[in-house]
Amino acid sequence: MKIRATIALVFLAAAAPAQDRYATIAQATNARMVKVFGSGGFRGVVAYGTGIVVSPDGYVLTAAGSLLDTPELRVHLPDGRRCSAKLVVIEPALDAALIKVEMVEDLPFFDVAAAAARPLALPGTWILGFTNCFEIATRDEAMSVQRGVIQAYTRLPLQRGIFEAPYTGEVYVLDAVTNNPGAAGGALVSRSGTLLGLIGKELRNAAADTWVNYAVPVQARIEVRDGEAKRIVSLAEFVSLGMRGQYKPTAKPEKSAGDGGYHGIVLVPNVVERTPPYVEETVPGSPAAAAGLRPDDLIVYVDGEPVISVAAFRAIMSRTHAGQVIKLEVRRGDRLEPVELKLGERKPQK
């Protein structure tokens, strides 16, 4: 009987999450976040971002990006102070950066090491996102808070070349529209305010013209190629070594040649917005000629992905590389023909 009474009380206590509860968590989270202002403000690149404070003396974890390419980096603290900040180190593989706010002490902060030691959040977990999206807040104004659910813990299908994101590890995919301009580097927290991850950049699916909202988990740990060798990098290590000035970032991955592998297909002139990708001719001796592509073939699929236009075909081909084998399906007459191409080295343009 006594035990029953205890259980009833536990349930009552759980029944108390008054309206105020999330307001309190919002205030507590906001107190550990900064608004970052740097370079940008042109060609759709915004000059503002979000960061989370990771030490009392002003280390801030944020997203890597052109925002930080300035000696004039500034942050606004939650109490309205405007302070200078310096870039400490960037880890391109994590798409993360550590900056240091100058002349501050005793700031409330997130303990990244402790958060990273916790288990990953499961899909279905209820979350809150805190960002300075759209530069709504300046000075002492609070971050925007949004609520949602983790839909999946998965790798984004970056290898398809549809999404452009430097971070290749697993992410939390969110059902809330958190990844707006300026939101990268924001905090993803649980409903009790525990740090779960760092909100990612705006990410558009070029094929479907849809946007995905994701966060990099605070436990992020991925294997990356560092020059010739392979190496494990983690967000927690990045923060802890970075704050001691001991973190060595991985070499920036070599940009795969922008033009992709050589195929030798000459398409019809791209005259309208969605010119169908008809083959005009093939260059003699090219992979296309070797594979037997013919004029008037209509390219319908590349590696199983539908291709609707000349532009779409070029976009996909730009992400290929020499030596890669691609499988096309072309419409020839009223039949679909499979064609396999081994891409060659692109010759230097004359």
Partner 1 sequence: MRYALILAGLVAGAAPPDIVREAEARRIAVVGKIRPAVVAVFANGGQGGGSGVLIDPAGFALTNFHVVQGVGPTMKCGLADGVLYDAVLVGLDRVGDVALIKLLPKEKDKPFPFVPMGDSDKVQAGDWSIAMGNPFLVATDFTPTVTFGMVSGVHRYQYPAGTLLEYTDCIQIDTSINPGNSGGPLFNDAGELIGINGRGSFEKRGRVNSGVGYAISINQIKNFLGHLYAGIDTDHATLGATVKTTESEDDPTPKILVQAMIEDCDAFRRGLNPDDELVEFAGRPVTSVNQYKNVLGIYPKGWRLPLTYRRDNVKKEILVRLEGLLPKEEAQPKERGPRPERGPRPEPEKRSAEAMKLFKAKTGYANYHFNEQARDTLLTKARSHGDFTGMTGEWVIEGELERKGQKQPIKITIAERPDAENKTTKTVISADLAGVIFAMEPLKAAADPRELRDPPGSGGLLMALYHWHRLQTQAAKGFEGEFTHGGTEPYYPTEGKPGRPALRRIDAGVLRTEHAAVKGKWYYAADGRLLGGEVSQARGEDPCEISFGSLKETGGRKLPHRIDIQFGDQHYGTLLIRTYQLPKS
Residue among 96, 55, 49, 97 nearest 76 (CA)? 49
DSSP 94-120: GTEEEEEESS--S-----HHHHHTSPP
Q: Which is nearer to partner 1, 63 or 116 (CB)?
A: 63
The least CB distance from residue 123 to partner 1, in Å, is 18
Is 83 an interacting residue with respect to partner 1 (CB under 8 A)?
yes
Query: Which residues in 218-257 contact partner 1 (CB under 8 A)?
Result: none
Count of residues near partner 1 by CB under 8 A: 44
Binding segment for partner 1 among 114-122, 143-151, 248-256, 294-302 (CB under 8 A)? 143-151
Which of 114, 117, 126, 211 lies at the binding interface for partner 1 (CB under 8 A)?
211
Asked whether 218 and 197 are in contact (CB, 8 A), the reply is yes
Is 24 an interacting residue with respect to partner 1 (CB under 8 A)?
yes
Is 106 an interacting residue with respect to partner 1 (CB under 8 A)?
no
Asked whether 286 and 273 are in contact (CB, 8 A), the reply is no
DSSP state for residue 139 in the 8-state scheme? T
The least CB distance from residue 204 to partner 1, in Å, is 8
Q: Which is nearer to partner 1, 171 or 183 (CB)?
A: 183
Which of 144, 234, 286, 320 lies at the binding interface for partner 1 (CB under 8 A)?
144
Is 63 an interacting residue with respect to partner 1 (CB under 8 A)?
no
Is 142 an interacting residue with respect to partner 1 (CB under 8 A)?
yes
Pairing of strands 195-199, 203-205: unpaired
Binding segment for partner 1 among 35-43, 48-56, 81-89, 109-117 (CB under 8 A)? 81-89
DSSP state for residue 48 in the 8-state scheme? E
Q: Which is nearer to partner 1, 103 or 122 (CB)?
A: 103
The end-to-end CA distance of the chain, in Å, is 90
Query: Which residues in 171-210 contact partner 1 (CB under 8 A)?
Result: 176-178, 180-181
**Strand, coil or helix: 71:** coil
Query: φ and ψ at 343, to 5 degrees?
Result: -70, 145
The least CB distance from residue 50 to partner 1, in Å, is 13
CA 105 from centroid of its chain's CA atoms: 31
CA distances from 171 to 57, 145, 344 (A): 29, 20, 34
Is 164 an interacting residue with respect to partner 1 (CB under 8 A)?
no
Rounded CA-CA distance 328/323 in Å is 16
**Strand, coil or helix: 83:** strand
Rounded CA-CA distance 92/308 in Å is 33
The least CB distance from residue 4 to partner 1, in Å, is 6
Asked whether 69 and 38 are in contact (CB, 8 A), the reply is yes
Binding segment for partner 1 among 33-41, 80-88, 227-235, 248-256 (CB under 8 A)? 80-88
Is 146 an interacting residue with respect to partner 1 (CB under 8 A)?
yes
Binding residues vs partner 1 (CB under 8 A): 3-4, 7, 11, 14-15, 19-27, 30, 44, 79-83, 103, 128, 133-134, 136-147, 176-178, 180-181, 211
